């Protein structure tokens, strides 16, 4: 999809017909596309991504809450993190062929696989935000049940929920009754080769730092450093 008009293919894949097609087009518009197409009539997808992130967390939280009536908060938290992290969302986006429909610059389309993962994951969240606005919470929840929750079995079998961020969160919630937070300390490099320095905080205290080609990768590296405090 290069002209922004062929969204019927994606609607068929996800099983949804948008009443307001501008919403799904906006969800598929990466910031870089506007640099090469100044006449494009819609904004980039970052606002929908922000909304979709919250809707996704709510929908997955509710599914886990119902599925595991006796599970403690910490267990549900790490399972949710494994289902909504950017690697998982990029993987599911790949299954949905989402990259074929995302509007991005030529530079981004030719970029590294890791950078592309982040773009696809963010677009997944934006699509969920668009579904929520177009058809309500039930439609977004159905999307999550259909495409995201089936990966729970894989998460449990492979232990992929035990990544550094999840492990750190479980330990800190148990020992200190707080949730680690992450902040961008520095961004360097051109848009297609961005480097992020991320700090992990316990409350207002900076505990460790990490670097990566995406915020998510930087967060994982910061969490690995912070875990050394507990070894």
Two tokens, residue 217: 């990768």
- Catalytic residue set: 53, 125
Two tokens, residue 187: 């961004």
The span from the CA of 199 to the CA of 211, in Å, is: 9
Two tokens, residue 180: 């680690």
Pick left, alpha or beta for residue 103 (phi over 0 → left; psi -120 to 50 → alpha; otherwise beta). beta
The span from the CA of 221 to the CA of 165, in Å, is: 9
Cα of 163 vs its chain's centroid, Å? 15
> Can you tell me which residue has the tokens 């494994």?
82
Cα of 178 vs its chain's centroid, Å? 23
Pairing between β-strand 181-188 and β-strand 195-202 as defined by DSSP bridges:
antiparallel
């Amino acid at each position: 999809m290069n002209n922004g008009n062929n969204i019927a293919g994606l609607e068929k894949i996800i099983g949804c017909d948008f009443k307001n097609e501008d919403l799904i087009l906006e969800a598929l518009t990466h910031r870089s596309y506007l640099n090469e197409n100044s006449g494009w009539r819609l904004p980039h997808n970052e606002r929908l991504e922000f909304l979709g992130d919250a809707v996704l967390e709510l929908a997955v939280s509710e599914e886990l809450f119902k599925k595991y009536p006796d599970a403690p908060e910490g267990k549900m938290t790490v399972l949710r993190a494994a289902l909504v992290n950017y690697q998982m969302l990029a993987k599911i986006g790949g299954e949905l062929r989402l990259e074929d429909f995302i509007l991005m610059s030529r530079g981004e389309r030719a970029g590294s696989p890791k950078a592309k993962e982040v773009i696809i994951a963010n677009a997944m969240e934006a699509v969920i935000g668009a579904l929520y606005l177009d058809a309500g919470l039930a439609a977004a929840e159905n999307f999550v049940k259909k495409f995201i929750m089936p990966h729970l079995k894989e998460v449990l079998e492979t232990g992929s929920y035990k990544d550094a961020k999840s492990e750190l969160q479980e330990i800190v919630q148990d020992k200190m009754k707080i949730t680690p937070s992450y902040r961008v300390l520095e961004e360097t490099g051109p848009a297609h080769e961005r480097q992020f320095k991320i700090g992990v905080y316990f409350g207002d205290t900076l505990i460790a730092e990490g670097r990566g080609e995406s915020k998510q990768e930087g967060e994982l590296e910061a969490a690995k450093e912070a875990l050394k405090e507990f070894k």
